[in-house]
Amino acid sequence: MPQLPVVFEVGSIIALVAILVVDLLIVARRPHVPSLRESGAWVGVYVGLALVFAVLMLVFAGGDAAGQFVAGWLTEYSLSIDNLFVFVIIMARFSVPKAIQQEVLMLGIIIALVLRGVFILVGAQLIEDFTWIFYLFGAWLIWTAIQQLREDDDEEQQDSALVRLLRRRVRITDEFDGMKFRVTHDGARHFTPLLIVLIAIGTTDLLFALDSIPAIFGITESAFIVFTANVFALMGLRQLYFLLGGLLERLVYLKYGIALILAFIGVKLVLHALHENELPFVNGGEGFSWAPEIPTWVSLVVILVAMAGATGASLVRMRHDSTVGQR
pTM (two decimals) = 0.73
β-bridge mates for residue 183, sequence order: 190
Q: How far apart are CA 206 and CA 92, in angstroms?
A: 20
pLDDT bracket for residue 168 (50, 70, 90) = confident
Contact 235, 15 (CB under 8 A): no
- Single out the residue of 241, 230, 19 nearest to residue 112, CA to CA: 230
Residues 108-150 have pLDDT tens digits of 778 878 888 888 888 777 777 777 788 887 888 888 788 777 7
Helix axes 98-129, 6-29, angle to 10 degrees: 160
- Single out the residue of 5, 129, 118 nearest to residue 57, CA to CA: 5
- Single out the residue of 239, 220, 264, 253 nearest to residue 71, CA to CA: 220
Average pLDDT over every residue of 296-300:
78
pLDDT bracket for residue 162 (50, 70, 90) = low
pLDDT recorded at residue 154: 47
pLDDT recorded at residue 69: 92
Q: How far apart are CA 205 and CA 180, in angstroms?
A: 22
pLDDT recorded at residue 131: 73
* 196 Cβ contact list (under 8 Å, min separation 6): 94, 163, 166, 167, 172
